[in-house]
Structure 1
Amino acid sequence: MYKLLIIEDDVMMSDMLSMYMSGEGYDIKQAENGEQGLKLLEQFGPDVVLLDLMLPDWDGIELCGRMRQHSSVPIMIVSMKSEVSERVQALRAGADDYLCKPFSMHELSARVEALIRRSRLMQAAAAESRTAEAADTAAEKEIKLDSERRLLLVRGNFVETTFSEFEIMKLFLTHPGKVFSREDLINAIRGFDSFVTDRAIDVHIVNLRRKVEKNPKEPHFIRTVWGVGYKYVIEDESAPQ
């Protein structure tokens, strides 16, 4: 159940909004002034705020800005003020939507749903981004290239490599998640006139796993893509291969 905070000093309007949105399945809290609204914002943790601009103790625009400093909750202004300048000020203060009174309850409900949907998508995207950043940071700490000395830094320790091993790891680290065929890896090592064989690539992979994996028999970073080739991963995509 989503939570809705109504900050409205007109008791009749507030009760009407509360009654309708409760019928739509929302958990409702009502505040008659700005101070009450700020307290409920922290205590109640709403998914959406409906905010009137004309309150007895706060200017609605200033209150909107104050709320935005402390919370990313979607804020919809509901106001008798219909001037463009008022809407612009409210949006610049951090409001996400603006609905002029009188309005249709059906439209209000649809807009609240849209705000929640957008908020959830943004939260999911932010969480995914944080996960990816954490994975990138973790992988970076695990394995890095020292191009000047052509060495691998594996969990804080320098590891020597052959020319071919270094070039393969450079390709892997530059394109995490990309699947490389044996032919791709051959070309990366010697070029298109290569005399290196598929079997030689498999040997290089075995040697690299010994150098970078905690358990070479159950590789985490250098994965086999059966029937295709190999890829380098920085997350737990599946069971070790």
Structure 2
Amino acid sequence: MDKENILIVDDDKEIRNLIEIYLKNEGYNTIKAKDGIEALSVLQNNEVDLIILDIMMPNMDGIEVCMKVREEREMPIIMLSAKSEDMDKILGLTTGADDYVTKPFNPLELIARVKSQLRRYKKFNNNSADEQDIQTEGVMEIEDLMINTNTHEILVDGKDIKLTPTEFSILELLAENRGIVFSIRKIYEAVWKEEFFENDNTVMVHIRKIREKIEEDTRKPKYIKTVWGVGYKIDK
């Protein structure tokens, strides 16, 4: 089976080369770009399965690149940044990134994040003919919201909604367990498959993005309900 192509975008040559070494040791194919403009050019001419994207770059920063990529593509994006402030992380996730790693980082941790995102992406795109045959078995309907876990389609009042693989995984988790309240910790550990750290607002940012896409009024959500002090749920 062909290994996935991973695009490494960073203006620091040493970081690009370091990440490439670890990825190649895991058998991945790599493509490197020194800035956002070069990254977008690479995407026009190559099949890319995942992007590792630095935020602070000349010419075009990672935030702008992420926004442009998300206009057309759904592959996982892992943001890199020397900044550790919450607002920087929120900005990256809000523009469509799936995960966020702060520099300096442990290369082995980054590789673990890559593997996790690629597993989710494969599941997200696993639309085989056999799955199409059992399509109705994987359909969940919650009022005007329709979730098809076989084709990973989301419809709200008949309108097609585009979710990232991570957003879909969160929505699927809540929809499959209607009436059960999931804490932020439980959502994170179920979706990301790794230990949750206190004060990590990754889940809240993703919930907000999902609501912006599926809710008519995010201040009065119809589908994903907040149970204050506990977590989130979708009612039965």
Normalised by the length of structure 2, the TM-score is 0.53
Checking the alignment, whether the CA contact within 8 Å between 2:35 and 2:61 is kept in structure 1 is no
Query: How large is the RMSD of aligned CA atoms in angstroms?
Result: 2.2
Normalized per residue, the structure richer in helix is 1
Contact 2:66 2:95 in 1 (8 A): yes
Partner residue of 1:160? none
Which residue pairs with 1:9 in the alignment? 11
Relative to 1, partners in 2 of residues 1:90 and 1:24: Cα closer, same or farther, differing over 3 Å? Answer: same
Deviation, 1:78, is 1.1
Distance 2:129 2:86 in 1: 35
1:173-192 matched pairs, under 5 angstroms: none
Runs of 4+ in 1 over 3 A off after TM superposition: 125-134
Q: Cα–Cα, structure 1 residues 65 and 129, in superposed 2: closer, same or farther, change >3 Å? A: farther
Which shows bigger deviation, 55-64 or 67-76? Answer: 55-64
Q: Residues 61-100 of structure 1: matches in 2 within 5 Å?
A: 61-100=63-102
Relative distance call for 1:22 and 1:99 in structure 2 (3 A) is: same
What secondary structure sits across from 2:126 in the alignment? helix
Q: How does 1:99-114 map to 2 (within 5 A)?
A: 99-114=101-116
Decide which of 123, 126, 129 is 1:124's aligned counterpart. 126
5+ residue gaps, structure 1: 135-241
Identity of aligned residues (%): 34
- SS of the residue aligned with 1:36? helix
Aligned CA distance change for structure 1 residues 131 and 75 (closer, same or farther; 3 Å): farther
Paired with 1:132 and 1:31, the residues of 2 have a C-alpha distance of 42
8 Å CA contact 2:6–2:29 kept in 1: the answer is yes
Relative contact order (C-alpha < 8 Å, sep 6+): which is higher? 2
Secondary structure at the counterpart of residue 67 of structure 1? helix
Query: What is the identity, as a one-letter code, of the residue corresponding to 1:47?
Result: D
From 53, 56, 78, the counterpart of 2:55: 53
Give the 3-state SS of the residue equivalent to 2:75 in structure 1: coil
- Partner Cα separation in structure 2 for residue 124 and residue 20 of structure 1: 27
Q: Cα offset for 1:46?
A: 1.3
- Residue 37 of structure 2 is matched in structure 1 by 35
For structure 2, the residue ranges without an aligned partner over 5 or more in a row are 137-236
CA distance in 2, matches of 1:57, 1:129: 44
Q: Aligned equivalents of 1:126 and 1:62: distance in 2? A: 34
Give the secondary-structure state (helix, strand or coil) at the position aligned to 2:56.
coil
